[in-house]
Amino acid sequence: MNLKTKSKIEVFLMYAFIFFMFVIIAYPLLWTIGLSLSPGTNIYGASLLPENWSLENYRWLFFDEQSQYTTWYMNSLFVATITSILSTIVVCFTAYAFSRYQFVGKKNGLYLFLVLQIFPVIMAMVAIYVLLNTIGLLDSLWGLILIYVGGSIPMNAFLVKGYFDTLPKELDESAKLDGAGHFRIFFQIVLPLAKPILAVVALFNFMNPLMDFILPRIVLRSPENYTLALGLFNFVSDQFATNFTRFAAGAVLIAVPISIVFLFLQRYLISGLASGATKG
């Protein structure tokens, strides 16, 4: 077998693998969209291209008096937005401190961040419930935000620190010679250069609350405080009203804000992920 033939076979196999993965990823999405456009409530009558397709399920979500979908949607956007903003701020300060300053416990603190990622979140659910109940934030969106922000610090801080370590410290020293203080260096020199990794942190912390189910299930009790994942679960968990088509319609719309944020931040994401993985 000559090199030209071998090269063609390799290219064919590569494209075949990409197409196979595309089908695996795209089929569930297209099937869910088809289910959301199907009349009735039955999951078994769904198809990729329903014959009698309709937007009735989407209309019911937003305009029916019995639907609380708009409330759940706004709750999720509120939690996701505040979590993304606060997490990015807290992670930036934490990572900058570990990257630029020397203090007692710095090395052990980094190891502790890594160790905390070993244990699954489900282990802390009872403790989280007791903590939020003690401070009066149980069944509260702010309690949910508090847990999301705290849980985002270890891994994200380690990621952002790796990015900060790639920024030349000579920039800090030059700024100090010009009379700049610590906060001015941080806000005017380091942060503008760290936009790629900040975009990664912001996107990940925006996506997580929109897709998480377990934590809202533990924390939230009132239907008016439900997030989308928790509210949509009721569509298929009710003993006498399992409406899979409305569930599919509501699930499809979750992708809208994530797609908007992704398109807005996409120019930073690839460079941010690559640079953040650099070991300092």
Q: What is the CATH number of the domain that holds 242?
A: 1.10.3720.10
Do 47 and 171 lie in a common domain? no
- Residue 125 lies inside a defined structural domain of this protein: yes
Q: Which residue has the tokens 């610090």?
A: 153
Residues 169 and 206 in one domain: yes
Same-domain pairing of 144 and 51: no
> How far does CA 238 lie from the centroid of its chain?
28
Cα distance between residue 151 and residue 87, in whole Å: 9
Based on the fold, state whether residues 136 and 196 are members of the same structural domain: yes
Q: Is residue 174 a part of any domain in this protein?
A: yes
Tell me which amino acid residue 2 is. N
Q: Let me know if residue 9 belongs to a domain.
A: yes
| Alpha carbons 85 and 202: distance in angstroms, whole number | 7
| Within a domain: 18 | yes
Which one of 16, 31, 58 terminates a domain? Answer: 58
Choosing from 58, 76, 94, the residue where a domain stops is 58
Q: How far apart are CA 45 and CA 149, in angstroms?
A: 42
Whether 185 maps to a domain, the answer reads yes
Residue 277: the pLDDT is 45
User: Quick one: 90 and 46 in the same domain?
Assistant: no
* DSSP state letter for 60: H
211/104 same-domain check:
yes
- CB count in 10 Å sphere of residue 239: 5
Say what the pTM is: 0.84
Burial class (CB in 10 A: 0-12, 13-18, 19+), 263: exposed
Q: Is 135 exposed, middle or buried (0-12, 13-18, 19+ CB in 10 A)?
A: exposed
Do residue 50 and residue 73 come from a single domain? no
Q: Which residues contact 71 (CB under 8 A, 6 or more apart)?
A: 224, 226
The last residue of a domain, from among 58, 77, 105 = 58
Dist CA 197 CA 204 (whole Å): 11
Same domain, yes or no: 185 and 251:
yes
Residue 63 lies in a domain: no
User: pLDDT truncated to tens, each residue of the chain (280 aa)?
Assistant: 567 777 888 888 999 999 999 989 888 888 888 888 887 766 666 666 777 788 888 998 998 888 899 999 999 999 999 999 999 999 999 999 998 888 888 888 888 887 877 777 788 888 889 999 999 999 999 999 999 998 888 888 888 988 888 888 888 888 888 888 888 888 888 888 888 888 889 999 999 999 899 899 999 989 899 999 998 888 777 655 677 888 888 989 998 898 888 888 877 766 655 554 444 4
| Domain carrying residue 161 | 68-276
Q: Same domain for 94 and 39?
A: no
Residue 177 located in a structural domain: yes
Residue 196 lies in a domain: yes
**Whole-number pLDDT of residue 84:** 94
Q: Exposed, middle or buried, 273 (CB in 10 Å: 0-12/13-18/19+)?
A: middle
Q: How many domains is the chain partitioned into structurally?
A: 2
Judging by beta carbons within 10 Å of its beta carbon (0-12, 13-18, 19+), is residue 194 exposed, middle or buried?
buried
Residues 157 and 45 in one domain: no
Q: Are residues 48 and 76 in the same domain?
A: no
Burial (0-12, 13-18, 19+ Cβ within 10 Å), 12: exposed
In this structure, the answer to whether residues 114 and 177 fall within a common structural domain is yes
